[in-house]
Copies of this chain bind each other. A is one copy, B any other.
Amino acid sequence: MNGMKQHAPIGVFDSGVGGLTVAKEIMRALPGETIVYYGDTARVPYGTKSPETVTAYSRQIAKFLMSQQVKAMVVACNTISALALETIEKEFDVPFIGVVKPGARTAAGATRNKKIGVIATEGTISSGMYESFLKSLNPEVKVYGKACPLFVALAEEGWLQDPITKQVAERYLVELKEKEIDTLVLGCTHYPLLRKVIGEVMGEKVTLVNPAYETAQELRYVLEDNHILNDSKEAAAHKFYVSDGAEKFRRIANMILPCEIEVEDVAIKSFE
């Protein structure tokens, strides 16, 4: 049975385009694995929604991906990982990998002075998920969270290296600098696009953690543990589904990913 499962695809989902940065790391780390991606572009963003709504929407997406016979599920969105993962992973019969735990593990390993900053959406910060997981890894760490709601809008506007973006970053990050953190988790999949500006503001002594890389490694361990890693040299064709704006998604995806892709619109309500 695992012999057949080996060739099944990996489900990857996000509220929109942000999770493509995670998909890219999976393609790089596990070139034999085929991805089926769902971006909920009709209902993006999730960062300001309640836990109940994020959970309901995520469940719908997971049902859709299960209908594509995936062997494992990567939740490529910090908000979903923080607010809904614990609930929905119990409802499905495949392993789920979120981005919060791998990101937290990297940060806990990287800090020297035990002061870690986390920047993310309102939903992720107020869930306290990063803090509680970091403290379970090392009760001595101090964790400082800060919601940066304008960062997503600035990244989507394409103002990546821009004096306005830098001033916004300076305002959001000043309190983390005052706490003298030495490690900063980029706890929203859009934020790595602003990495250069965030790095300039924080200074070069602060380590920036992008959970996407570590998530791809975690996926490898889980697949190996379950004896369902696909060690082919090449993946089958990746598939991308969105709930709105397939053409706009395709344009952005083709800038982020190393390969040209096709995108299909799938209304999610048929899976409610």
A interface, CB within 8 angstroms of B: 42-44, 48-50, 52-53, 149-150, 152-154, 156-157, 163-164, 167-168, 171, 243-245, 269, 272
Contact = CB atoms under 8 A, between A and B. Distances in A.
B53 A244 contact: yes
A218 B69 CA distance: 54
Contacts of A167: 163-164, 167
Given A43-B43, A53-B244, A269-B272, A154 B164 contact: no
Which 10 residue pairs across A and B have the least CB separation, nearest first?
A: A153-B153, A53-B244, A42-B53, A43-B43, A150-B153, A50-B244, A50-B245, A164-B167, A49-B244, A149-B157
Looking at chain A's contact residues, the main secondary structure is helix
Nearest to A272: B269
A53 to B, nearest CB: 5
A38 B204 CA distance: 48
Contacts of A164: 164, 167-168, 171
Nearest to A163: B167
10 contacts: A48-B245, A50-B245, A52-B244, A149-B156, A149-B157, A150-B150, A150-B157, A152-B153, A164-B164, A167-B167
Contacts of A43: 42-43
B42 A49 contact: yes
A78 to B, nearest CB: 18
A272 B267 CA distance: 13
Given A149-B156, A164-B164, A164-B168, 18 more contacts: A42-B49, A42-B53, A43-B43, A48-B245, A49-B244, A49-B245, A50-B245, A53-B243, A53-B244, A149-B153, A149-B157, A150-B150, A150-B153, A150-B157, A153-B153, A163-B167, A164-B167, A269-B272
Contacts of A245: 48-50
A213 B153 CA distance: 29
A8 B149 CA distance: 40
A42 B153 CA distance: 18
A52 B156 CA distance: 22
